[in-house]
Amino acid sequence: MNLKTTSLTGSVGAAVDGISLSEPLSGEQLEQLREAFRRHCVLVFRDQQLAPAPQLAFARLWGEPMVSALLSKLQLGEYPEVVQIRTTSKELVSTEAWHYDAPHTPVPPKITMLSAQVIPAGGDTMWSNQYLAYESLSPVMQRMLEGLRVHFRAVKLARSQGVMDSDVPSAVHPLVRTHPETGRKALYIGHADNVVGIEGMHEAESRPLLNFLYQHSTQPDNIYRHMWRAGDVVMWDNRCTMHYAVHDYGTQERVLNRVTLKGEVPA
């Protein structure tokens, strides 16, 4: 079988066909995947039905699986590196907002990988291209943002996991971060639920600026929206995309197994 990648939009995401992720990959296949991943930031693999053990094995080809302290309640018994995302009430869900994964930690994951187990009607996930979000700003705005730092704080996620407000983790990272592999710059921001502000700015200065960047990043022409099927595997680069889990499925069951890979300090 020949591996084939097809763009899913003009801005972000590609589908990969002709590959089974539960079988060993050749060096050439892996190199093709790496190249596609650098280019498209999100890779979609249909019809994989990937169980936790082969998911972890595939994930290890890309880096070191992490064990998230904040998500310890969701771990799959046998595999602490795999957490199970299940339907929770809309009020508690922290992922229905554009976000990067774990920017409230000093070293956020570089890649997140989901393997869809049970999919309801609805429950799509969207990704934005944060390179294009940066590159489409005016040079004057780009220069203005250079050197700014964002204070991230995982307020909603922590609440959803029963963590006390006094223990909510937080971290400060560059607003414009350079991808260590592609050298391209990306806007590193997030929803107001998880972003305190820009370091050193008054709230009245930083909030409108962050709101603008958030809106600008998530315009329809800058996103891919994935309609899940059970058996899908999707992996995304958490250094150049934000994502948003649409909660339009009420109490229907939705189960995805998730692995994250250790990243580097954003620079």
Restricted to residues 230-249, the positions that interact with ligand AKG (CB under 6 A) are 243, 245
Per the listing, tokens 């009020």 go with: 91
Q: Which of 81, 101, 232, 237 binds ligand AKG (CB under 6 A)?
A: 101
Min separation Cβ 193 and Fe ion, Å: 12
Residue 95 binds to ligand AKG (criterion: CB under 6 A): yes
> Residues 125, 130, 218, 241: which binds ligand AKG (CB under 6 A)?
125
Q: What is the largest distance, in Å, between two alpha-carbon atoms of the chain?
A: 57
Q: 63 phi and psi, to 5 degrees?
A: 165, -160
Site string for Fe ion, 96-135 (x = CB under 5 A): -----x----------------------------------
Residue pair 224/42 in contact by the 8 Å Cβ criterion: yes
Nearer to Fe ion, 209 or 245 (CB): 245
* Strand ranges (E), the chain: 4-7, 14-17, 42-45, 75-76, 79-86, 111-118, 125-129, 149-153, 170-174, 176-178, 185-187, 195-198, 223-226, 233-237, 241-245, 255-261
Task: List the interface residues with ligand AKG, window 63-92 (CB under 6 A).
Answer: 85
Q: Are strands 75-76 and 79-86 parallel, antiparallel or unpaired?
A: antiparallel
Q: Does 105 bind ligand AKG (CB under 6 A)?
A: no
For the bound state, the minimum distance from the C-beta of residue 221 to ligand AKG, rounded and expressed in Å, comes to 21
- CA atoms of 208 and 199, how far apart (whole Å): 14
The smaller minimum CB distance to ligand AKG, of residues 25 and 74, is found at 74
- With CB atoms as reference, the residue minimizing the distance to Fe ion is 101
For residues 145 and 175, is the Cβ–Cβ distance under 8 A? yes
Task: Determine if 237 is a binding residue for Fe ion (CB under 5 A).
Answer: no
> In the stretch 185-224, what mask flags binding to ligand AKG with x, by CB under 6 A?
----------------------------------------
- To ligand AKG, the closest distance from the beta carbon of 125 in angstroms equals 4
Q: In the numeric block, which tokens belong to residue 76?
A: 């799959």
